[in-house]
Amino acid sequence: MNIKWFIKKHVFRQKSMAQKCSEYIETLRRKGVKIGEGTIVNDYRDILIDYSRPELVEIGKHVFLHSGTKILTHDWASWCFVESDAKFYPSHAKVVLGNNIWLGENVTICKGVSIGDNCIIGIGSIVTKSIPSGSVAVGVPAKVVGTYQDYMKKRSKLYVDEAIEYANAILDSGREPLVEDFYDDYPCFVDRTNYKEYNYPYDRVFAPPQF
């Protein structure tokens, strides 16, 4: 694979998408949503943040909002009451996300929920009750299944074996592994002393902006 082609197709495209997602975040801020620095929207085209009452949404620093994220501050279930009893009772409550949170794809966060600092919410989860800091939660409804620290320790032991498995899969396919195949596996070969040698924005990890 030509490294210049790879960078042009993947890295530059990511920067373009990142710029658009940053503009989306700025739009939400102008509407009154509180969003901390370092927060990332993975795909602004596939996300729903209920800013009908923007003061009810508060998102901390370094939060990753993956594709399919939905943050809801109200529901419209009272629509049924209008038909049956000519009554409408609004339902809305604040949503607060702390700092350093990862939301997997297609996570829905319902009104009245808070998620503490250092949390990981698994793919497809629906968060109907608050999640304490330092938790890994998953499911419908989302429940705490472990701690943030335990999960980090688990990943620190498994990532090398997974990189080797991937390298063997590439070899089995009939070609030699390339450095760019492992841009996500950088702990195997990139550190603070050599990250500038690679054509990938590793400065996000080794020289992050100071907020």
137-196 residue pLDDT tens: 999 999 999 999 999 999 888 888 888 898 999 999 999 988 778 877 767 777 778 777
Higher pLDDT, 111 or 159: 111
pLDDT at 138: 98
Mean pLDDT value of segment 200-205? 68
Q: How confident is the model at residue 13 (pLDDT cuts 50, 70, 90)?
A: low
What are the structure tokens assigned to 163, written together? 């990189």
Q: How confident is the model at residue 7 (pLDDT cuts 50, 70, 90)?
A: very low
- Sketch out the chain's domains with CATH numbers: 3-147 (2.160.10.10), 153-206 (no CATH)
Mean pLDDT value of segment 77-89? 89
Query: Can you point out the beta strands (E) in 61-200?
Result: 63-65, 70-71, 74-75, 91-92, 95-97, 101-103, 108-109, 114-115, 119-121, 126-127, 135-138, 143-147
CA-CA distances (angstroms) from residue 93 to 41, 84, 128, 132? Answer: 23, 25, 12, 18
Mean pLDDT value of segment 76-103? 92
pLDDT at 143: 97
Q: Average pLDDT over the chain, rounded to whole?
A: 86
Are 96 and 61 in contact by the 8 Å Cβ rule? The answer is no
Phi/psi region, residue 153 (left: phi>0; alpha: psi -120 to 50; beta: rest), is: alpha
pLDDT over 90 percentage in the chain: 55
CA separation for the pair 122, 190 (Å, rounded): 28
User: Does residue 44 carry a pLDDT above 80?
Assistant: yes
Choose among 111, 101, 110: nearest CA to 62.
101
pLDDT at 3: 52
User: Does residue 12 carry a pLDDT above 50?
Assistant: no
CA separation for the pair 176, 72 (Å, rounded): 47
User: Does residue 14 carry a pLDDT above 60?
Assistant: no
pLDDT at 59: 97
User: Does residue 54 carry a pLDDT above 50?
Assistant: yes
CA separation for the pair 160, 177 (Å, rounded): 15
CA separation for the pair 98, 118 (Å, rounded): 8
pLDDT at 201: 67
CA separation for the pair 43, 17 (Å, rounded): 7
Choose among 44, 48, 40: nearest CA to 95.
48
Higher pLDDT, 30 or 14: 30
User: Does residue 4 carry a pLDDT above 90?
Assistant: no
